[in-house]
Chains A and B, each alone.
Chain A
């Protein structure tokens, strides 16, 4: 087991270097339009001497590999540099934004687990029934919906129209996040973010459950006279859930990179929106730092998922992944 974990962590090392090198190439002079010093000073005219000083101060006069090593050195000490425009340390900016992203992600995951798995179980148990057709069709529709359009439809229907229809008595907030314990603001963004993943979770649950139900040990369980309920919940579900749990875990990892579209539609101040704005404003310290933090968070969660997967399924531990 330890050996498996060690190998899995070793695999992350080249990915980490690849990501940071790629980010550095994107940032290299000549690759991107725009001069970083101009980003710092804005439109103000500055003397050439001050310009040179700023170049030196930001280490931009050194060759790229030297800059890269310096950056990594600081990174190890938890220093991701300062934003060009906001004059704040990048780490501080993301410390502010991450709780919002995590809040939204957890809410979406809860919806995904409850609705996705329940829908998957129902449609597998009642295969070919009307309910199964409804679930299968609606999951196909949900994976085809543009998330941002779904969010806009929710805003119009559940924000504005519902308010009109109920005479202003009931509606859901459409934008912003309110002050943290406020759950009403969380509903629409969380449902929007969860929509696609919930559909996938339902599909995977259905197909896994159907596959497991066809196996010999299930037939044995039925033959010895167990009730359908006991067969499904005690025997089939345990094995069918392994890939579902993996999917949901990986999805939680993916959500750690923020949800640009959902965050844009609902003005949710998360990491995705922050990185997106910074790309547009070419504030590269935030982009680099943000992507590194995000990739690290995603890899960490994937690692936890893989380890727990290996824990649940001994074949992976001993056989090694089929890579």
Chain B
């Protein structure tokens, strides 16, 4: 720990540590050191330290790099995929019989599906759905979870019991059945998958955030802020949030993988993204009839899900260690 501080470039600029190393008695910061410098220095060490620890974790960095590659591929797909591998949705009925279920080759690196569409192109476009679900569904669950968790923890008493009992009800439901039932109610479709996953995910976020606020709330600086007349909203956003947010970052990263898996499962069961939109889960559902004769229709979409989820799982694990968050489960 001390070793890190000595090598911290900021610390080497500051007098106390240097003086200590050269044997000169350390002098306390004098009044001409601006307060803002101290503040910025401490906040930079918190996140800087975490980043430095994360960078040393090879698996987490591999996850981060893979996630970035996936995002770049998904964003740039329009520029290069249809030109080389064909439209991932279009079915040319006149040539289907010659193009269907071709094994992997130079022209079709992942082979073609039963409609003669290039599987590589569909896997690439499928990444857009999966990443969008990961980001949007998790954003929905984080926003709902943060608001409800904060209300429960900050106002306590009745609010706390009501919100936490509702969370219990949500958690008591079998997860995937609940998602299917919600989609049966809302109708099948792209946006409804996001909403269903978002609605189902908030209780865990709310619980984690509530616990984290409850422990931060006891600190004296919160009392001090209140004594100075700060409003509830200001105390919440300026004093409690920054200190209670680390577990949420870790949890949200891990939830991205979970959301991608849920979307794949829902689409696989026919309750998610609808054809002809390429989604990895949907491709696997199509593949069931052909997987024994043409295994490539099933292998590549599965690997795409596996590696993408794995990237976020490894990144989440790394963040947990780097931010030193203790997870209960």
Which residues does A use to contact B, with CB under 8 Å? 11, 14-15, 18-19, 22, 26, 31-33, 137, 140-141, 143-149, 152-153, 155-156, 160, 247, 254, 257-258, 260-261, 264, 272, 275-276, 279-280, 282, 287, 291, 294-295, 298-299, 323
Contacts and interface: CB of A to CB of B under 8 A. Distances in A.
Given A18-B166, A140-B310, A144-B306, A279 B298 contact: no
Interface in B166-192: 166, 168-169, 172-174, 176-177, 180-181, 184-185, 187
A22 B257 CA distance: 28
Contact of A144 (B169, B187, B268, B309): B309
Interface string B264-284: 110011100000000001001
Contacts of A26: 181, 185
Contacts of B44: none
Contact of B174 (A146, A147, A153, A254): A254
A260 B172 contact: no
14 contacts: A14-B169, A18-B166, A141-B306, A143-B313, A148-B265, A148-B268, A152-B284, A260-B180, A261-B265, A279-B180, A280-B270, A291-B174, A294-B177, A295-B173
A264 to B, nearest CB: 7
Given A143-B313, A144-B310, A261 B185 contact: no
Given A15-B165, A144-B310, A156-B292, A261 B268 contact: yes
Q: How large is the interface on B (under 10, 10 to 19, 20 to 34, 35 or more residues)?
A: 35 or more
Interface of B: 59, 164-166, 168-169, 172-174, 176-177, 180-181, 184-185, 187, 257, 261, 264-265, 268-270, 281, 284, 287-288, 291-292, 295, 298-299, 301-302, 305-307, 309-310, 313-314, 317, 329
Contacts of B306: 141, 144-146, 149
A261 B272 CA distance: 14
Looking at chain A's contact residues, the main secondary structure is helix
Contacts of B329: 247
A146 B185 contact: no
A260 B175 CA distance: 11
A262 B315 CA distance: 28
A146 B302 contact: yes
B176 A261 contact: yes
Nearest to B180: A279
B34 to A, nearest CB: 42
Nearest to B207: A323
Given A18-B165, A26-B185, A291 B173 contact: yes
A172 to B, nearest CB: 14
Contacts of A279: 177, 180-181, 184
Given A144-B257, A146-B284, A260 B168 contact: no
A264 B268 CA distance: 10
Contacts of B176: 260-261
A14 B268 CA distance: 34
A146 B265 CA distance: 7
Contacts of B172: 15, 18-19, 295, 298-299
Contact of B298 (A14, A18, A152): A152
A149 B308 CA distance: 14
Q: What are the nearest 10 A-B pairs in CB distance?
A: A257-B174, A18-B169, A149-B302, A144-B309, A144-B310, A15-B168, A14-B165, A146-B305, A15-B172, A160-B292
A149 B168 contact: no
A145 B174 CA distance: 20
Contacts of A15: 165, 168-169, 172
Given A140-B314, A156-B295, A18 B168 contact: yes
B266 to A, nearest CB: 10
A171 to B, nearest CB: 12
A14 B287 CA distance: 43
B119 to A, nearest CB: 15
Contacts of A323: 164
A272 B180 CA distance: 11
Given A144-B257, A146-B281, A156-B298, A257 B177 contact: yes
A260 B177 contact: yes
Given A22-B169, A279-B181, A298 B174 contact: yes
Contact of A276 (B59, B166, B269): B269
A137 B62 CA distance: 13
A260 B314 contact: no
Given A153-B302, A261-B176, A148 B284 contact: yes
Given A146-B281, A152-B298, A279-B181, A141 B310 contact: yes
Contacts of A143: 313
Contact of B177 (A31, A153, A291, A299): A291
